[in-house]
Amino acid sequence: MDPTLFSQLPIEHVTDYQPVGGGDINEAYQLTDQTGTHYFLLIQPNHPKSFFQHEVTGLKLLSQTVLTPKVLDWGSFGSDAYLLLNYIEHQPAGDQTEMGRQLASLHKRHSPNKQYGFSEAFTMGTYTADNSWRSDWESFFIDQRLAPLKKLIQHHGLWTPEMETQYATAIKVFKHLMITYHPLPSLLHGDLWSGNFMFNPNGQPVFIDPAVFYGDREFDLGITRVFGGFNADFYKGYQQVYPLERGTDNRLPFYELYYLMFHLSQFGAGYQSSVLQMLTLCASK
């Protein structure tokens, strides 16, 4: 990182900066100013300012309902994009019941046009999600989430004939499940795995790194089941505020499938067996 960037940030004087874990895509740094205040700086090399547009939009939108980092500045420096946030002092555990309640409250916010999608696309790695508005969830999820990921996986030569057989059956099952299930288009975090929340020093949940759009609220909940990190208190808290509808256990695996397909498309063959296993489960519903 070029420290001359600091001169254009809304920080009086940066006295120290250290690289920190910021995910798989961005460079991340903790900055400290002369008063000892900490900041979180993300840099995406060789991308314009617009790279962070959707994250900025998402953080501001989510912050109306749940705790998120505050966007302090974002822009471009040379050929790189940057995003400056306040630094969240955090601890390894906190109130998961409250986190479930907050997610449920977020999901009670529905699309203003009563459709599924969003006004912006978003990019995660080499995958760009098409958020074009659709009037029904079934076609949105199949055509604008699963199908593009399948195509990307095929491009990498990782889609097998067995996967194709199970996928064809799974799509038929999903369409059948949607006959009697008509979810409202809820505001979603969009990428809610255990790396995208933390607990502040008071034990309160803070949601980070969103990929927002309006869709079936079970989409977020399906993702929470893929890599763990959410305990029984989380799901109990969610149910207290916004109880799930009948049949959710049959639908959640399809959203787990989406997330596993995303990981196969980005991180390679190590996820092939998990995708096939989930495809088989979905096809059996």
| Cα angle for residues 108, 207, 106 (degrees, 5° grid) | 5
CA distance 17 to 143: 43
Q: Which residues contact 6 (CB under 8 A, 6 or more apart)?
A: 14, 17, 31
220 is catalytic: no
Closest CA to 118 of 183, 190, 180, 168: 190
Q: In this structure, are residues 75 and 47 in contact, taking their beta carbons and an 8 Å threshold?
A: no
b/e string for 124-149 if b means 16 or more Cβ within 10 A?
beeeebbbebbeebbebbeebbbebb
Strand partners, 84: 41, 73
- Which residue in 185, 263, 78 sits closest to 273, CA to CA? 263
Question: Could you tell me whether strands 38-44 and 213-215 are parallel, antiparallel, or unpaired per DSSP bridges?
Answer: unpaired
Catalytically annotated residue among 2, 143, 191, 233: 191
Q: Hunting for tokens 């912006």 — which residue is that?
A: 120
Q: Facing residues of 200 across strands?
A: none
Phi-psi region of 78 (alpha: psi -120 to 50; beta: other; left: phi over 0): left
How far is Cα 261 from Cα 119, in angstroms, rounded to an integer? Answer: 24
Q: Give catalytic residue positions.
A: 191
